[in-house]
Amino acid sequence: MRQHSIAYRFILLGFACLLLSVSFGLTASLQYLFPHFLNEQFSFRNTRPIHVFLAVSWIFACVIGIIYKYIPDVAGRALYSGKLARVHFALQTLTIFIAVSGFCMGYFSGREYLEFPPWVSSLIIVYWLLFAINFLMTIRPKLASAPVYIWSWCTGLLFFFITIIEAHLWLLPYFNDNIIRDLTVQWKANGSMVGAWNMLIYGTAMYAMEQITGDKKMGHQKISFAFYFLGLTNLMFNWGHHTYIVPANPIVKQVAYIISMTELVLLANILWQWKISYKKSGNTSYPLAYRFFKVADTWILLNLILAIAISVPYINQYTHGTQITVAHAMGATIGINTMLLLASVTFIFEEQLHDAAKKSIGIGLTVMHYSLLIFWVSLLGAGITRAIALYEGNYFAQVSRKIMPYLVGFSASGVVLVVGICLIAFSFIKTISEKQLED
């Protein structure tokens, strides 16, 4: 247990970010309905970026915690340096604290996802370096024979470095002085950063699935590597679908459109095949983790359908900037990323969970899944109605009135979604804290 305590601290940090994030998300959604709600302290312009920053912090803290847990198991040796990992943990916590304190004092850089002062990124680069050193020195990967999840983790680690540096090129006049160049590079970096965290998450999902079924072939199969290379191609090129409105070279957009469609198809296929092999193996040891994977699979398919639709340039020109884009972003970060992270966390703790915790996580998952469905459909309804109303030439006030019923549905289902998330998060926080104390 002791050797994993740093991993558990990161997972706890992740849950703290998640709970704070959904509190700000809930406030932001209420501000859709009551624009003056808490306007003096935190207007929507502030609550939204704080919510998004904390949501991204949840994803990173949790996936890093899971990787810290898995790497000694994969390598068959202890973590290279507990001290480096503790410094990493302190720096990451400090970064989140500085960023959120800055937001509360009204500091926003205006850069999506990276709203904190640019110098804070130097802390991120330092702790990422510490993480990379610990990872590489523990795993000492022999890439020629390494399973696919090691390739995914290495790629995610490397591309995070590249994209965080790229995301700061706007500090140079060459980029900052040209709005098209600036927008293109900003969204190229953001799109690829999402690709980098996807690599880290998919790697953890593949490892957990391999462990659950005991099917060691899975990590070496051609289909898994085909998926990996497709993920890599997506990471490098699909960002173009974020820049359809930018008058850049059309080839970028065409390539992005074709590539964007491919990744989710393969991921859905891998999860589908795994579900079949899980059922065949008669394995019943991780039923709760299995349920999270099943729900993630459904969300991959739903997001795939939406992604295909909104990546068609003709449709994209109407949907861009509406709640449909928000549905796409939250559908993916909650339905796919969060579900896969929770699947791994469940896999790690399932055998240690008390019956009451298992029950409340199971109920939380059901509540999360169905409320997310209403949440997502409400956003789509609001986005479609808004796009049509704008096309018809309605005024802003008329558009706002027309989408109001959908926003009520969005906020109401958001409250239920938060209840589901809390049921899961508090059960894990309690279990992990008890284990830490026992240690």
Interacting residues with ligand HEM (CB under 6 A): 18, 22, 25-26, 28-29, 48, 51-52, 55, 325-326, 329-330, 333-334, 338, 414, 417-418
| Dist CA 67 CA 88 (whole Å) | 14
Instruction: Return the number of the residue (25 or 147) whose C-beta is nearest ligand HEM.
Output: 25
CB nearer to ligand HEM: give 18 or 264. Answer: 18
Show the tokens assigned to 207: 């490892």
Helix (H, G, I), strand (E, B) or coil at 390: helix
Q: How far is the CB of 327 from ligand HEM (least distance, A)?
A: 8
- Smaller CB separation from ligand HEM, 189 or 330: 330
If the CB atoms of residues 212 and 302 are measured against ligand HEM, the closer one turns out to be 302
Q: Cα–Cα distance between 214 and 217 in angstroms, integer?
A: 9
Residue nearest to ligand HEM (CB): 414
Cβ of residue 310: shortest distance to ligand HEM, in angstroms? 12
* CB-side neighbour CA atoms (13 Å) of 259: 21
Nearer to ligand HEM, 219 or 364 (CB): 364
- Residue 283, helix vs strand vs coil: coil
Q: How far apart are the C-alpha atoms of 79 and 4, rounded to whole Å?
A: 9
The DSSP code for 249 is -
- What the block records as the tokens of 119 is 């110098």
Nearer to ligand HEM, 27 or 431 (CB): 27
Q: Could you tell me if 15 and 429 are in contact, meaning their C-beta atoms sit under 8 angstroms apart?
A: yes
How many Cβ atoms are within 10 Å of 123's Cβ, its own excluded? 16
Computed over its alpha carbons, how large is the radius of gyration of the chain? 21
Q: How far is the CB of 150 from ligand HEM (least distance, A)?
A: 26
Give me the least distance between CB of 48 and ligand HEM, in Å please.
5
Tell me how far, at minimum, the Cβ of 52 lies from ligand HEM, in Å.
5
What's the CA gap between 365 and 343, in Å, rounded? 10
Q: Please, are residues 106 and 46 in contact by the beta-carbon 8 Å criterion?
A: yes
Conformational region of residue 140, where left means phi above 0, alpha means psi within -120 to 50, and beta covers everything else: left
CB of 182 to ligand HEM, least distance (A): 18
Q: How far is the CB of 34 from ligand HEM (least distance, A)?
A: 13
Choose between 31 and 234: whose C-beta lies nearer to ligand HEM.
Answer: 31
